Structures are given as structure tokens and as C-alpha cells.
Structure 1
Amino acid sequence: MYSSSDEIGIITAYVEQLEKESIPYALTIKKRVSAGDTLNEIEIMHFEQLLSEARMMMPMLKHHSEYQKLIAELASLYHEISEEALRNELNKKK
């Protein structure tokens, strides 16, 4: 089990990675998907990795409510992107 200071360090690094890399990347993809594009295999694998990381972080994050809103918003963003990309994929097959 991690100490409280270890948890804060891990969470801080995780949140920084989200803010500097994951969220900007997701927003770039969202723009493309909103314009009618679909997700490529690399993007799908990237989202799967991010969701896996989020699941691993949840036990720590549940003790730090200040980060839960960020994680919920990010999950919502990934859901929006996935849903729209799926709709686009289905429309292309029609």
C-alpha cells in the first residue's frame, strides 16, 4: 500500500500527464470525429490504454475527491468521442 505522500505524487504525475498529453490529444481527435471522421486503430488502442490507466488509478482517486471531477469529465469526453466515431463508422457503411 502507498503512503499518503506516495499517493499524492502518483496522482499528481497522472493528472499532469492528462493535462499535458491526454486531454489535448483527445480534443484534437474530437474535432476530427466531429467533422465526420472515425477512429483509427492506434487511436482506439490509445483510448483503451487510457481507460485501463484510469481504472488502475480509481482506488487512489476515490480518496482524493478533488480529482474525481477531472476523471469523470475525461471519461465523458472519451465516451462522446467513441459514440460519435461509431456513428460515423456506421454512416460510412450505409
Structure 2
Amino acid sequence: MYSSDDEIGIITAFVEQLEEQSIPRALAVKKRVEDGDTLNEIEIMHFEQMLSEASTMMPLLKHHPEYQKLIAELANLYNEISERALLNQLNTQA
């Protein structure tokens, strides 16, 4: 079991990675899919990895509700991107 200091350190590193890399990257991808593009294989793998990491973080985050909204918003962002990219893919195949 992690100490409170360990939990805060792990969560802080995760949140920093989200803010500095994952969220800006997701927003750039969202802009592309809103313009009609689809996801490439690397983007799909990245989203899967980020969702997996967020899922892994959930046991720690249950003790820190101040971060739960961020994770929920990130999951919603990835969902919006995925839905739009799938729609774009279906439209290109039609």
C-alpha cells in the first residue's frame, strides 16, 4: 500500500504528464477529426494506453476526489474523438 506522500507523488506525475503531453495531443487530434480526418494506428494505441493508465490510477484517485473530474473529462474527450473518428471512417468507406 502506498503512503499518502507516495500517492500524491504518483498522482502529481500522472497529472503533469496529462497536462503537458496527453491533453494537448488529444486536443490536436480532436481538431483533426472535427475536420474530417480519422485516427491512425499510433493515435489509437496512444489512446488505449492513456485509458489503461487512467484505469490503473483509479484506486489511487478514489482517495483524492479533486482529481476524479480531470480523469472523467479526459475519458469524455477520448470518447468524443473516438466517436467522431469512427463516423469519419464510416463516411470515407461509404
- How far off its partner does 1:42 sit? 0.3
Question: Taking structure 2 as the reference length, what is the TM-score of the superposition?
Answer: 0.99
Residue matched to 2:15: 15
Partners in 1 of 2:88 and 2:46 — Cα distance?
19
Residue matched to 1:62: 62
Letter in 2 for 1:18: L
Matches within 5 A, 1:1-94: 1-94=1-94
- How far off its partner does 1:20 sit? 0.3
Q: What is the Cα-based RMSD across aligned positions, in Å?
A: 0.4
Percent of counterpart pairs with the same letter? 77
Q: Secondary structure of 2:38's match?
A: coil
Question: Taking structure 1 as the reference length, what is the TM-score of the superposition?
Answer: 0.99
Partners in 1 of 2:75 and 2:48 — Cα distance?
11
Letter in 2 for 1:70: L
Give per-residue Cα distances to partners, 1:22-53, cap 9 Å, x unaligned: 00000000000000000000000000000110
**Poorly superposed stretches of 4+, deviation over 4 Å:** none
Q: Secondary structure of 1:54's match?
A: helix
- How far off its partner does 1:62 sit? 0.8
Between the two proteins, the alignment pairs up a number of residues equal to 94
For structure 2, which runs of at least 5 residues remain unmatched after alignment?
A: none
Q: Secondary structure of 1:89's match?
A: helix
